[in-house]
Structure 1
Amino acid sequence: MRQLFESTVQRIFGDIVTPASLLARKAGEWPTQLWAAIEESGFSVAPAPESLGGSDASWNDLYVVVRAAGRYTVPAPLPEALLANWLLGRSGLDAISGPLSFAAANTLVFADGKVTGQLQEVPWGRHVAQVVAVVAGTGDLPSQIVVLNVKDATLANLRLNMADEPRDDLRFNAAQPLAFAALPSDLPADILLLGGAMLRSAQIAGALQAALEMTSRYATERSQFGRPIANFQAIQHRLAILAEHTANAMVASEAAFAESGDQLALLPLMAAKVCASEAASIAADTVHAIHGAIGITHEHALHLVTQRLWSWRSEFGSQTFWAQRIGREVCANGAHRFWPAITSAKLEAENNPVQKTTPSGELS
């Protein structure tokens, strides 16, 4: 299934998501043609069980899809739809093939069958038809998965990230969910934050791959002092560092997807987001240094990649946020379990109460 996914998604993205089409788009514009192709392919519902309208695809299968979304700088919430439909499937709810996103942070309250509160920084919130969120449990009521109709929301704080991707707040007042179910007991309440970090690590890995290819090609074609700049040792050194960090991010993110199943692999995904975010910062600096002035022009495609690297590295938790959380989780796990955790990619104390922080780094 993975090979089929990879060949199909590359064909779709290669045909529709070209640098010319991306440069011609208006900021935050909805990609109608692209989403129609995504829906027709069935990728957005792939992680859901077949009985609920999906393909029962594993995260290992879906890694190539999410990485390709980063490599081609896809301007659509396909990764978000994958995570939302996976969670719906885990909760026994039907998959949603239409425009779909999720909110990792919210102030929702679920009472008397109605939802009130605000969803924060919803990817493509102004364009999607439905959004998935987790409402924290209170008292005897467990945490709930809710599917909300965006038409019932008031759009607030409409924003674009650095890559011109919408990140919007949605306010609901006694809204009737389209569907809801109890969050599976083996999933943490911050499952969408964890999943969002895993998605962004793979997208960053794909964008790094594109940046490396673009920069290596430019260094070979651009001549200075009578020879290609790729022949200069200083350029070779920087390209080697770029290649190392790209490989590191790709391996780390793929490991997170491969280790995830009915539950997301906590330690691998945290490590993947740290590695990918660090690589994003180093790569953006390197590729612009090698490209020089032409790399910052609007007409050149380089900024399509680097603006996403800058944006994605801080979404769903920054490098510092996840590094700190790894430290807390490892300490809670105990010194005698440190090496077993490294070799097994699992923390035995994952369910123990640990002091958490928000993605901004504040203690909760």
Structure 2
Amino acid sequence: MNETSEIIIQTAEKIMEDLCTKQVVDDAERGTNPMKLWNTLAETGMLAIGISEEEGGSDGGFIDALNVIQVSGKYSAPIPLSETILANWILSDAGLPISAKPMTVISNVNGKIAFTEKADGWVISGEAFDVPFARNSNSIVVVGKSEKGKIAASVNCDKCLITKGQNMANEARDHVILENILVSKEKVSSLKRFDEEKTQYSSALIRTVQMTGALENILELTIAYSKERTQFGRTISRFQAVQQQIAILAGEVSAAKAIANLAMKAYEAGDGKDQIMMAKIRVGEAASVGVPIAHQVHGAIGFTEEHSLQHSTRRLWSWRDECGNESDWAKRLGNKMLKLESEALWPYITAISNH
């Protein structure tokens, strides 16, 4: 990691520590937008990392942006940070202006959205479910196909019919209907590298990275609590059974971070589909093992509103199932591996791990 990357992570950590407190997260779950947090991230250029300065971005690489997203996951940031970063990557790829305002993304992988070119623009119609932070966004970047190939459009949210929904972490996951919305030509453009599939994989990687941040937080909280809570005259961190469970949790967090880092490097190298599938599977498994341990060590207090553990664990339960759960990606990965010739399996595995 170079010096610039370290500065980016340290800056993100400082912003989150100061402006993404437990009270801010609690208030956001009750409907208050944390605008000070958002504005600070925008002012420091965190929303445009991975985009060159010539295109209006902050330079840096995809890994730098994903590191910021990981920090946001650690602090349970209740804002569409990752969605806006992804939206800006897509807009930049399409040669459209990027934005510092909240955005979200719809990838037309299920073919429920149609793009029709007209003389005065494009008509977009269709619907999407569980769109992250749609109600909190200024615009939605819609990725799909047209007669001219892969395409992206920036659609104002006030033109969409948005029905509120939420996940277990009380994050907005909304039903969006685009009913014959006319979008001007300057807000629609062809894509070069991104398409529906790449957007889907990018979203899966982003959720995976957020989960590793949340896993890191529950490990830190669990270790700290075990050193504070006393039982039978000594801290529970002194009990072998507790030490063993924390060791298992630490192992799961380390494995999750290792596979996520592998996927991040492969993604920045230009592809990483296989690594992203494996990372989403493995990090989901880490959440399944790690969350019960964290709550067992904390006892009943970890479930209460007064303690911040539940912010991370509710997000882990939610993010585990978003952008494809372990079963979805395992089936896709398994089907790909079944198509390999027997002598190709080992070279395939070693090529993936050597990224």
Q: Which deviates more from structure 2 when the two are superposed, residues 49-58 or residues 22-31? A: 22-31
**Pairing 1:172-191 to 2, within 5 Å after superposition:** 172-177=178-183, 179-184=187-192, 187-191=194-198
**Pairing 1:236-315 to 2, within 5 Å after superposition:** 236-261=243-268, 263-315=270-322
- Deviation at 1:342? 2.0
- Deviation at 1:121? 1.6
The letter for the 1-side match of 2:346 is: W
- Deviation at 1:292? 0.7
SS in 1 for 2:183: coil
Residues 236, 20 of structure 1: alpha-carbon distance in 2 compared, 3 angstrom cutoff: same
- Deviation at 1:150? 0.6
Residues 193, 286 of structure 1: alpha-carbon distance in 2 compared, 3 angstrom cutoff: same
Q: Work out whether residues 226 and 236 of structure 2, in 8 Å CA contact, stay in contact via their aligned partners in 1.
A: yes
Q: 2:56 aligns with which of 50, 53, 57?
A: 53
- Deviation at 1:49? 2.7
Equivalent residue number for residue 359 of structure 1: none
**Pairing 1:156-195 to 2, within 5 Å after superposition:** 156=163, 158-177=164-183, 179-184=187-192, 187-195=194-202
Equivalent residue number for residue 108 of structure 1: 113
Equivalent residue number for residue 66 of structure 2: 63
Equivalent residue number for residue 337 of structure 1: 344
In the alignment, is residue 205 of structure 1 matched against residue 212 of structure 2?
A: yes
SS in 1 for 2:316: helix
Q: Work out whether residues 102 and 139 of structure 2, in 8 Å CA contact, stay in contact via their aligned partners in 1.
A: yes
Residues 93, 241 of structure 1: alpha-carbon distance in 2 compared, 3 angstrom cutoff: same
Q: Work out whether residues 28 and 78 of structure 2, in 8 Å CA contact, stay in contact via their aligned partners in 1.
A: no
- Deviation at 1:264? 3.6
* Structure in which a larger fraction of residues adopt helix: 2
Equivalent residue number for residue 133 of structure 1: 142
Q: Work out whether residues 104 and 196 of structure 1, in 8 Å CA contact, stay in contact via their aligned partners in 2.
A: no
User: What are structure 2's unaligned runs of at least 5 residues?
Assistant: none
Partners of 1:259 and 1:229 lie apart in 2 by 41
SS in 1 for 2:165: strand
- Deviation at 1:26? 4.2
- Deviation at 1:262? 6.7
The letter for the 2-side match of 1:182 is: S
Q: How many residues align?
A: 343
Residues 69, 264 of structure 1: alpha-carbon distance in 2 compared, 3 angstrom cutoff: farther
Give CA deviations for 1:145-204 in whole Å, capped at 9, x if unaligned.
121111111112x111111110112111221235222232x5453222211110011111
| Residue identity (%) | 32
Partners of 1:263 and 1:88 lie apart in 2 by 18
Residues 29, 62 of structure 1: alpha-carbon distance in 2 compared, 3 angstrom cutoff: same
User: What are structure 1's unaligned runs of at least 5 residues?
Assistant: 347-364
Give CA deviations for 1:278-312 in whole Å, capped at 9, x if unaligned.
11111111111111111111111111111011011
Partners of 1:262 and 1:254 lie apart in 2 by 12
- Deviation at 1:109? 0.4
Partners of 2:28 and 2:148 lie apart in 1 by 45
What is the TM-score of this pair, normalised by structure 2? 0.91
Q: Which deviates more from structure 2 when the two are superposed, residues 91-100 or residues 320-329? A: 91-100
